[in-house]
Amino acid sequence: MDRPDDRPDDRVASVLRFTTELIAWVATPWALASYSWVLAVLSVVVLIGLPTVFSTPGDKAQVMVAVPGPVTILLVLLQLAAAVTAAWAVWPVWAAVVVSVLAAATTVTERRRWLWLLRRGV
């Protein structure tokens, strides 16, 4: 169902996206910690900070720095890639497979939102 402002309202997509983001926030610093604690901390700053600061108007209630829709899509893809890559680096195969399937499902369920974001300029 669409909201009055035509933004897709898909709870399943939101839950899958948030779950994948949480995995990225945990697994990425875990994977980087063996190389450098600075990189581990920096990964959290990037994965949480960038989407918090940069967002597309209408996609979030509050926008700090407005960016076009494709930038928001790239930030989501960054989260998905980080979650999958880090899961394969540090977790057992069965867990990495689950994360990969979750990321694929997120990509499929995000289609409507991404199409909406592609039409959004700043």
The token duo for 55 is: 């967002």
CA 87 to the chain's CA centroid: 15
**Burial letters for 65-81: b for 16+ Cβ neighbours within 10 Å, e otherwise?**
eebebebbbebbeebbe
Query: What is the Cα–Cα distance from 16 to 27, expressed in whole angstroms?
Result: 16
- Which residues are CB-contacts of 50 (< 8 A; sequence separation ≥ 6)? 75, 78
Q: Is a pLDDT exceeding 80 seen at residue 56?
A: yes
Q: Can you give the pLDDT at residue 78?
A: 98
Q: Cβ distance 66 to 55 under 8 Å?
A: yes
Give the model's pLDDT for residue 1.
39
- In tens, the pLDDT along 7-46 reads 667 899 999 999 999 999 999 999 999 999 999 999 999 9
Under the banding of pLDDT at 50, 70 and 90, the label for residue 5 is low
State the amino acid at position 113 in one-letter form.
R
